[in-house]
Amino acid sequence: MASAGEAWAPGIRVLIPEGELRARVAALGAEIARDYLGKELTVLCVLKGAWLFAADLVRAIPLPLTLEFLGVASYGADTRSSGEVRITSDTLTPLHGRDVLVVEDIVDSGLTLRFLRQALVARGCRSVRVCALLDKPARRVDSTVGVDYRGFTVDDHFLVGYGLDHAEKWRNLPFVGVLEASGGG
50 phi, psi to nearest 5 deg: -90, 0
In contact, 162 and 15? CB cutoff 8 Å: no
165 included as an active-site residue:
no
In contact, 155 and 136? CB cutoff 8 Å: yes
- What pLDDT sits at residue 2? 41
Q: Is 109 helix (H, G, I), strand (E, B) or coil?
A: coil
Compute CA distances 96 → 86, 124, 128, 143, 146, whole Å: 21, 5, 11, 27, 22
In a domain? residue 105: yes
Q: Which entry of 56, 108, 135, 165 is annotated as an active-site residue? A: 108
In a domain? residue 164: no
**Other Cβ atoms closer than 10 A to 90:** 12
Each of the 185 residues of the chain gets a pLDDT tens digit; together they read 344 455 677 889 999 999 999 999 999 999 999 999 999 999 999 988 999 999 999 999 999 999 999 888 775 545 455 567 777 777 888 899 999 999 999 998 888 889 899 989 999 999 999 999 999 998 888 778 889 999 999 999 999 999 999 888 999 999 999 988 654 44
Number of domains in the chain: 1
Boundaries of domain holding 49: 19-73+84-155
In a domain? residue 39: yes
Strand order in the sheet with 86-89: 86-89, 65-73, 41-47, 99-107, 127-135, 149-153
The enclosing domain of 130 has a CATH number of 3.40.50.2020
In a domain? residue 167: no
Cα(69)–Cα(51) distance, integer angstroms: 9
